[in-house]
Structure 1
Amino acid sequence: MRASSRLARLGLVVVALALGAWHAPKVGPGPGPGKGSATGWPVPRFESFRSREIYMRAGPGFQYPIIWVYHRLDLPVEVTGEFNVWRHVVAPDGGDGWVHEALLHGLRSFIVIGGRHTLRAGPHKDAAPVAYLDKGVIGVIRRCKAGAAWCQVEVDHRAGWLRRDQFWGSFAGEAIK
């Protein structure tokens, strides 16, 4: 094998390893245990889309192709990695890719999963209904106690309690203040 061929193969291996490092794996029940290389914040963590139109890219830069376009303001996403001003995110539908940090904000939102669920006046199944939430409804998480099954949330100016297993946007047992 010629030396130039070996160098070319070595170059391909280095590029493959670098690309693999950019695609950060999902890590256990967050937030944490890692820290983002750019922000020092816990990884994984939840943030949400700041705009009504978000381009998700195949890699951390404008030169990478757009692989998904999202049209959901405040859609919660899980940040699983960082590279400079780019964040590797996973959306509730399983789509994953890279988004510029300017398109994210720290609002703790949620999206209803499954079928129709009842927003309740208190954190128990017998509390009075406040509203009925269909799959795909987005709201804001106001607070969750560590280890609690219920979280206080708000949807369209209606506050109430929703079981944590009825929405996507928090880690199991995570405290949100």
Structure 2
Amino acid sequence: MRNVLTAGLVALILGAAAAGAQESSPPPPNPKIAATLPVVAPVPDPAASPAVAPPAPPPVTEAAVAAEESAAKRAAKTEPACKPGFGCVTNLPLPRFVSLKGDEGNARRGPGLTHRIDWVFTRPGMPLMITAEYENWRRVEDQDGAGGWVHYALLSGVRSVVVAQDMAELRATPDRDARVVAQAEIGVVARILQCTADWCRISSGGEKGWVEKTAIWGVLPGEVIE
């Protein structure tokens, strides 16, 4: 007896095969179930050092910025230490004598034009004693101790003295027994021509002569001027 495959029988066999194939395949995943699956996260190693965040920098304030700028300026302007008895600007001895260059000079309370004027010198050529230096300014005083800070352009290196003794005697030679050639009233300003340890030869009003240092102001004791 032969097996006869008819169209209907073939369709029935193919359908059964297809159904069997579908049953043997795994069902598609359920999206709702997949969404609830737990997530696997790495477990930290307890032996590992925990990460430490770096400390936050301190807040920057205007006061801190100003202090830093001020320190930088001071460091930039640092001057070498001054030698005792010498000016920090000129390195010349202190105290020392100069004279007023013009007709007058303003003596200020501090070394700068913003400081108030405390004194005005009005005698051209009068001697002044420098006691301190700062940049272009010199602190000076007269024979009475009055003065202040004066700009160096108002001073001259020409040496002068003021007569501190009434009717001081000017002699022909530096000797008390020498001939008196003139007399000078107290307050007279004279130019220095020469000085020994105890005497100075001065000139004023066309007169010249030697006078003892004790009778004048504007030269240091023992100072020699050639």
TM-score under structure 1 length normalisation: 0.77
User: What is the alpha-carbon distance in structure 1 between the residues aligned to residue 125 and residue 163 of structure 2?
Assistant: 13
Q: Which amino acid aligns with 2:224?
A: A
User: What is the alpha-carbon distance in structure 2 between the residues aligned to residue 33 and residue 122 of structure 1?
Assistant: 37
| Contact 1:33 1:44 survives alignment (8 Å) | no
Worse-matched range after superposition: 91-100 or 163-172: 91-100
With over 3 angstroms needed to count, the CA separation of the structure-2 counterparts of 1:161 and 1:33, relative to structure 1, is farther
State the 4+ residue runs in structure 1 displaced beyond 2 angstroms.
Answer: none
Partner of 2:153: 102
Give the root-mean-square deviation of aligned CA atoms.
1.6
| Structure with a larger share of its residues in strand | 1
Secondary structure of 2:223's partner? coil
Residues 1:154 and 2:195 aligned together = no
Give how far 1:33 is off. Answer: 5.7
User: What is the alpha-carbon distance in structure 2 between the residues aligned to residue 115 and residue 158 of structure 1?
Assistant: 16
| Contact 1:114 1:166 survives alignment (8 Å) | yes
Residues 1:166 and 2:215 aligned together = yes
Give how far 1:161 is off. Answer: 0.2
With over 3 angstroms needed to count, the CA separation of the structure-2 counterparts of 1:33 and 1:121, relative to structure 1, is farther
Q: Which amino acid aligns with 2:219?
A: S
Identity %: 41
- For structure 1, the residue ranges without an aligned partner over 5 or more in a row are 1-6, 8-31
Partner of 1:114: 165
Higher relative contact order (CA 8 A, sep 6+): 1
1:75-94 equivalences under 5 Å are: 75-94=126-145
Give how far 1:34 is off. Answer: 1.9
| Contact 1:36 1:42 survives alignment (8 Å) | yes
Partner of 2:125: 74
Q: Count how many residue pairs are aligned between Structure 1 and Structure 2.
A: 145
Q: Which amino acid aligns with 1:116?
A: M
TM-score under structure 2 length normalisation: 0.61
| Contact 1:33 1:42 survives alignment (8 Å) | no
| TM-superposition CA deviations, 1:42-68 (whole Å, max 9, x none) | 111100100111111111001000101
| Contact 1:48 1:106 survives alignment (8 Å) | yes
User: What is the alpha-carbon distance in structure 2 between the residues aligned to residue 33 and residue 165 of structure 1?
Assistant: 27
| TM-superposition CA deviations, 1:10-67 (whole Å, max 9, x none) | xxxxxxxxxxxxxxxxxxxxxx962211112111110010011111111100100010
